[in-house]
Amino acid sequence: MSAKPIKVLYFASVRTLLGVASEEIRPPPPPSEPLALSSLAGIIASRHQDKAVEFERLLKTCKWSVEQEMVEDEEEMSKVTLKGGEEVAIIPPVRLEPKDPRAQGHLRPQRAEDQTSTVT
């Protein structure tokens, strides 16, 4: 009996680089050892050989989650094992563009009618 596939979700710049939103990866069938999360990056890179170098560079800035639980660091990644059927996400950092604070009214010049005063 073969193991269920692992669904890997790609977000933002990873999705753009690989050209897919997700893919399924089959772990080794039993009685093989479960697949370490830390080895999944190499499997993905081998599937996208033309983008492997850029993918591996991008991964250095990404976070991973398994079943919607964040994996905090490389040490934890080496301890997390995948048996099949899991959902794994690769999440690049979110880069917020600076916004013009005036667009949100923070530095909008006040008009006389906008000012209120309290008489006590």
- Asked which of 10-24, 54-68, 102-116 is least confident by mean pLDDT, the reply is 102-116
The domain in which residue 85 lies consists of 6-94
Q: Is there a domain that residue 110 lies in?
A: no
Q: Look up the CATH number of the domain holding residue 49.
A: 3.10.20.30
| Residue 97 Cα distances to 61, 94, 105, 108, angstroms | 18, 10, 17, 20
In the chain, the percentage of residues whose pLDDT exceeds 70 is 78
Select from 35, 26, 20, 37 the least CA-distant residue to 2: 26
Residue 115: per-residue pLDDT: 43
Residue 59 pLDDT? 93
3-state SS of the chain?
CCCCCEEEEECHHHHHHHCCCEEEECCCCCCCCCEEHHHHHHHHHHHCHHHHHHHHHHHCCCEEEECCEEECCHHHHHHCEECCCCEEEEECCCCCCCCCHHHHCCCCCCCHHHCCCCCC
Mean pLDDT (whole number) for 64-91? 94
The answer to whether position 115 is within a domain reads no
pLDDT in tens, 20-65: 999 999 988 877 888 999 999 999 999 999 999 999 999 999 999 9
Calculate what percentage of the chain has a pLDDT beyond 90.
62
In a domain, 71, yes or no: yes
- Summarize the confidence of residues 67-91 as an average pLDDT: 94
Q: What is the mean pLDDT of residues 8-22?
A: 96
